[in-house]
Amino acid sequence: GKPIDGAPYLKGEKVIGSAKPTLDADLAKLTAAKVITSPDYWRKTAPTVRYLPELLHNMAEALK
């Protein structure tokens, strides 16, 4: 079959499942714990840096 172009998903133009709500929740948790102080920067940067959303999620999960 024809491969699916994942670029729109990686650039944040499309969202798969609960990816964006998860990022927002992770940023809220990291901000509340004072791990980060500028969630808007991370929200804007996450789609452009490979694996950054996963890293932020893992950091938020480690706070549990």
In 3D, which of 51, 53, 50 has the Cα closest to residue 42?
53
4-42 tens-digit pLDDT: 555 555 555 555 555 567 899 999 999 999 999 999 999
pLDDT at 53: 92
pLDDT at 3: 52
pLDDT at 54: 92
48, pLDDT greater than 60:
yes
CA–CA distance, 40 with 30 (Å, rounded to integer): 12
